[in-house]
Amino acid sequence: MNLYRKRYSNFLSVISHVLRNVYPIEGIYRNGKVIEFNDYQQVYNDLIQLEVDPTGNLVYINGLKFHGGKNNGDILNIFKKNEYSFLPVKEKEVVDIGANIGDSAIYFASRGAKSVIAVEPDRVSYDYAVKNVEVNGFSAKIKLILAACGSKDESASENDLQSLSLRMLIQKYCSNPNILKIDCEGCEYDLIMSASRDDLTKFSHIQIEYHSGYQNLKRKLEYCGFEVTCTRPSFFIPLNKNRMTTLIQNGYVSQSKSMFIGWLYATNKH
């Protein structure tokens, strides 16, 4: 609400249209300039004042550029709000589950990570990630894997995606994993609850965005010897109809878009 109020003189009208999903929307800046929005993502990008190429789906930030960043990714929170500052990635091997358009993997690499193993199941986002890693000069540090993660190991077939458990991911792609980041729209439960103590304790720090509460994740990691803190769950319903907000629950795509989201931070005490 404060962002809308500060940015637009007709903020109540803009909010009303966004909530009713009625476009186009005419926004009037405080200096009198008028702008037209054709979807929620345009509103959001303007609210956070993200530098977006008006002729293409391209975002610029901190000297980096992200194809696909206009309608996807979490660029502002990653690069401006430093939401992964908890993770001491310098000179470490980072496992990034839920790489999206490569924004988090590039953040880790730009912060001095020795290497990043980045996993993304969505083909469109994966293709953007491949392009972004290349154009930003991190191909030598970041390995991208097109795969889903969970409790099962399944090879890719003509129509199905490769699926990896944490153990298989470590055995197949990692040399000395130190840091684990998970933001995978619900697969975190299947992945963590099925993982062994030996595999989890390979990591010194784990950060997870949870989507349906944290209690079982917290108990499992504490049992494995981690000190765990969590942010309070926030009830959230996406306004932007982004296909990447679809939840994965018990291995299946959920039709519900409501979430109880927050962050879990775990530090290995041993």
Which pLDDT tens digit goes with each residue over 18-30? Answer: 999 999 999 999 9
pLDDT tens figures, 160-196: 789 999 999 999 999 999 999 999 988 999 999 999 9
> Does residue 154 share a domain with residue 29?
no
Written as one string, the DSSP assignment of 163-210 is EE-HHHHHHHH-SSEEEEEE--TTTHHHHHHHS-HHHHTT-SEEEEEE
Name the residue among 198, 193, 197 with its Cα closest to residue 182.
193
pLDDT of 216 above 80: yes
Band (10; pLDDT cuts 50, 70, 90): very high
- Judge whether 56 lies within some domain: no
The pLDDT tens digits for 133-165 are 999 999 999 999 999 999 989 887 666 789 999
In this structure, is residue 144 part of a structural domain?
yes
Dist. CA 194–CA 208, nearest whole Å = 15
- Asked if residue 97 and residue 14 are part of one domain, the reply reads no
pLDDT of residue 245: 45
Same domain, 38 and 114: no
Q: Of 57, 108, 54, nearest to 83 (Cα)?
A: 108
CATH of the domain at 92: 3.40.50.150
Whether the bond between 24 and the residue before it is cis, its omega within 30 degrees of 0, is yes
| 67 lies in some domain | no
Q: How far, rounded to the nearest angstrom, does the alpha carbon of residue 135 sit from its chain's CA centroid? A: 20
The total number of structural domains in the chain stands at: 2
Same domain, 96 and 223: yes
Expressed as residue numbers, the domain containing 95 is 72-268
Do 174 and 44 lie in a common domain?
no
Average pLDDT over the chain, rounded to whole? 90
Considering the domain boundaries, does residue 66 fall inside one?
no
Same domain, 127 and 248: yes
Same structural domain for residues 181 and 227? yes
Q: Is residue 55 part of a domain?
A: no
Verify that 22 and 136 share a domain, yes or no. no
The interaxial angle of helices 103-110 and 123-135, nearest 10 deg, is 30
How far is Cα 76 from Cα 252, in angstroms, rounded to an integer?
A: 29
Length of the chain: 270
- Contact residues for 137 (Cβ-Cβ < 8 A; gap 6+): none
Domain match, 186 and 88 both: yes
Spatial distance between the Cα atoms of 94 and 119, rounded to a whole number of angstroms: 11
- pLDDT single digits (tens) 108-120: 999 999 999 999 9
186 and 119 together in one domain = yes
Binned at pLDDT 50, 70 and 90, residue 51 comes out as: confident
91 domain residue, yes or no: yes
153 by DSSP, 3-state: which?
Answer: coil
b vs e for 53-83, b when ≥16 Cβ sit within 10 Å of the residue's Cβ? eeeebbbebeebbbbbbbbbbbbbebbeeeb
- In this prediction, residue 159 carries a pLDDT of 67
pLDDT at 249 over 50: no
Residue 59 is assigned to a structural domain of this protein: no
The answer to whether 182 touches 189, Cβ cutoff 8 Å, is: no
Kindly state whether residues 132 and 201 are assigned to the same domain.
yes
Residues 41 and 147 in one domain: no
